[in-house]
Amino acid sequence: MSVMESQKRMRRLAKLLSSGSAINSKDRKFLSDALSDIADGIDANKALGVKAKRGERKSKQARIRKATEMHAMAWIAAARLPAEHGGLGLSLEEACALASNKGTSGGFFLTEETLRSYWNKKPRRRRVIFKQED
């Protein structure tokens, strides 16, 4: 499980605890084990699964950057669709130019080169519909 997934799980558990909602047995065991490990002197970040591995980022800014990238890729995918399918029928270069920070509306505050790089290096994110992370 990545740090961001662990952070998401911890935020969800925190909301459940603060609202007084029931916690399922899997999450209850996870919290119980983590608290026992922390009491035994194990690093809390490691016990809770939020200790970043080498090269992994866990800041709020990193989550915002990832969400921006996902939104930009979804917008470009939609803009490249033919008009008869609800798109704009743009080429990749035209879509990146419009979505960039030099585009007509300020775009996603990413350069055209960055957008093209994301598009070319991360093909699984070339979807019009995607799941938003919390």
How many beta carbons lie within 10 A of that of residue 58, not counting itself?
Answer: 17
For the chain, domain boundaries: 3-47, 60-125
Residue 30 DSSP one-character state: H
Average pLDDT, the chain: 85
pTM: 0.56
The DSSP letter of residue 129 is S
pLDDT tens-digit profile of 70-107?
889 999 999 999 999 888 999 999 999 888 877 666 67
